[in-house]
Amino acid sequence: AWQGRCIATTKLRLVEFSAFMEHQQDPDTYNKHLFVHIGQSNPTYSDALLESVDVRQIYDKFPEKKGGLKELYEKGPSNAFFLVKFWADLNTTIPDDVRVFYGVTSQYESPDNMTITCSSKVCSFGKQVVEKVETEYARFENGRFVYRIHRSPMCEYLINFIHKLKQLPEKYMMNSVLENFTILQVVTNRDTQELLLCIAYVFEVSTSEHGAQHHTYRLIKD
Amino acid sequence: LRQGQVPMRKRQLPASFWEEPRPV
């Protein structure tokens, strides 16, 4: 049921993704704010299939030269490509001081025991400005292999970007900035170089009182 | 936007792309 209903292929599934700030109020109390979040879900066959977006509509929002989205998509497999539109929650009251940790947690699972490489490219006007590459090994849990990148520290570029974004007085100004801010995540099998998942992230600011929201799409090319 | 760049609003994207989901 995962196929076509969430960020997954037969080889790897994104189980959870969150970017957050966490403030240590005192030795026993932590306040956590999620900027964006994809929670654990268990789709069934009665759930709707993901809508699709033509990958060519977003080529210019991501690197276009060697190793760019176009080249990656042409190499495939095309069923491993997804687009996530996040409505980010910037409505935080956590004070910004030295006791704040900015982090990203993600979790994947697979029927296969692999070593995966996760590349995350932050792009401005479609050009890569910073890249983080992480390698993760499998842990066998409950009959499947789990890959957990736990509390990976957010880079300075992103922390500064969030600070500046929050200072803008109007949401339409934030959305105007976010129109040219994207992130491309590519997960590969380290040993075979096979592409397992490619997720393109685009953003707006949430207007909800209920935290971050998102829509997920399959990337296709008719 | 850079010169020649098409705004996202003018691209062929699903209607849901512009509709923030309501919390379940």
Tell which phi-psi region holds residue A151, choosing left (phi > 0), alpha (psi between -120 and 50) or beta: left
pLDDT tens-digit map of A92-116:
888 777 789 999 999 999 999 999 9
**For residue range A48-100, what is the model confidence (pLDDT) as tens digits?**
899 999 999 999 999 998 889 999 999 999 999 999 999 999 998 887 777 89
Pick the residue from chain A with its C-alpha nearest to B23.
Answer: A210
Helical axes A156-167 vs A171-178, angle rounded to 10°: 150
Residue A33 to residue A199: CA distance in whole angstroms? 23
Tally C-beta pairs within 8 A across A and B. Answer: 39
Give the model confidence (pLDDT) of A131-173 as tens digits.
Answer: 999 999 999 999 999 999 999 999 999 999 999 999 999 999 9
- CB of B22 within 8 Å of a chain A CB? The answer is yes
